[in-house]
Structure 1
Amino acid sequence: MPESRLPAIALTVGEPAGIGPEISIRAAWSLRHEIRPVLIGDAAYLAMLANEIDPAIQLMGVSLEALRNYGLSATGIDRITVIDCPLTAHVVAGQLDPRNGRAVLHTLDVAIESVQRGWCDAIVTAPLQKSTINDAGVKFSGHTEYLAEKTQTPQVVMMLACEANDHLKQPLRVALATTHLALKDVPAAIRFDDLLCTLQIIDADLRYKMGISHPRILVTGLNPHAGENGYLGREEIDVITPVIEHAKSLGIEASGPYPADTLFQPKYLEHADCVLAMYHDQGLSVLKHASFGLGVNITLGLPLIRTSVDHGTALDLAAQGLGHADISSMLVAIRVAAEMAKNKK
């Protein structure tokens, strides 16, 4: 396929002291025949790493100003474009430096702009360290919240997914009604309007970004045994069931609420395109066990496509030197983003 027809994927390389730059370079080079990878980070630092990883890897740095004036030009499959976002301080692998926090955050702004201007078709984010950005004097709670704020998106949905493997007969997708909340705060956050909007976002993105014409969504209960007819809690009766019924009236194929402890079985999952869990560990513990490092984080509801790896910065691995990090999750994240970009087009 001609390079101009391959989906252009913006890869933010994340925390420079972690494994993000290495896995971004290695994955981009590995998939350069399938996508047009565009790395976003410090061009000089990435070029140095690329040479250490494999001298055959060729990067070409370009300034943001040049892109704004001339756009993104083709480089050929033997050279990868890097949008240069210079770091402030020298990088020591495994050691965080808040002086680089604002530069790391700037890569997200550049990634957003690259999609909004049509240079790239999707964003894939390597892991960053929230503390470094906060220590740099910028209040930051995470990729998802930042992207939502910058794109003026009122509600987004976090979904993790993994492909079929030796342990799964079919792909597994798990979306969350609530994300990073203390468990004691979850019941109050299960509200009719928010939960309905979550189902609508899931349904829309499964259709238009993932190419599933009639998405089937299974919804968990909040309480053990899905509340057991009110004896173990009334959230299922008062909120979750009414939301599901209303969603059905809107043409959304949702069902439940199901007890979460029995829902994640092949006989149920084979009839589902996504499971909506009520809180973080209720759904993600199962998925992360099943994915074995091949999971991908997808942000639903944004006006752009964003995927990410399902792991952190792994500073300890980075400190050991190059060659210890596994790029499997990054490969999957890039391929999923590319497929979503094709579906959206």
Structure 2
Amino acid sequence: MDIPHQRLVYFQVTIEAGSVRQAAARLDIAPSAVSRQLSLIEEALGAPLLERSRQGVVPTPVGEMLLDYCRKRAALDDRFSETLDAYQRLETGHLSLTVGEGFVGDLLDTPLRTFTERYRGVRLDVNTGSTSDIIEAVVEDEAHIGLMYHERLHPQLRFWHSSRQPLVALMSPSHPLAAVENELPLATLSEHPMALWRTGHGVRQLVDEGFREAGLGQHVTMQTNSLSVLLHAARSELTLTLLPAFAAARELEDGALVARAVDCERFRQAHAHIITRVGRRMPKAGLQLLRHLERWMRAFKSRLVSG
């Protein structure tokens, strides 16, 4: 039914007012204009809408159906306005994030907790994945926001914010290298057992590149696809691991692990990134979350590491 909204308003006001003349007075237009609009509706529907009674004009059966439609449409309009208003005030909405596992503790400790406390109606979906998974999720619009580590150029990615987060050596305070105050040479690290991500992980690629460029090999005694395993292995004193400091923020603050800088330019130039897809229109809640993560996450602040 292609009837202009304003024409339906004239009809509804006429029914509520009880006459064309009173409807015209309410609408501040000539009665003939109201009559003309009513005639156009009747022509479109092929049926009369009004009949006269002692109380004034009343709707015909078709007029009753149209009046019901007008009222339901008005209720839908009101509901949409209320929903839109709530959305604009960040009271409702849905956001999806895909992040590297190393970001999870940093993400949940404070940033997401404070965001969800402030915007309780916004639902968050948080998924983890490899660097390739994160890029695919953002590019394919499966995720509004991605958090990833290490440099990775892509023509469809917008690097919303980047922060230099060097790869560091993490170990138990009782590990022999924990007492070293200067940057640890790669040659020294190569002599000690290490627990590392499995081959193919973004951080492992960075580690392999650094050692390969130095002409050195690693003494890898454990490989895993779990951050938790890496951190527990480092705490055991038997091995050390290589990660950005923010991935072990809680363990570093508790003193369960210590971080030592590594003398490797490739490690020093690694970055943490907040990414979105180029050209994607971010919902208002998404823009607010981007600013919130940039402001509150350790991964996007400078950290002091010994050495």
TM-score (normalizing by structure 2): 0.23
Between Structure 1 and Structure 2, the one with more strand by share is 2
> Which protein shows a greater Rg?
2
TM-score normalised to structure 1 length: 0.21
Whose helix fraction is larger, Structure 1's or Structure 2's?
2
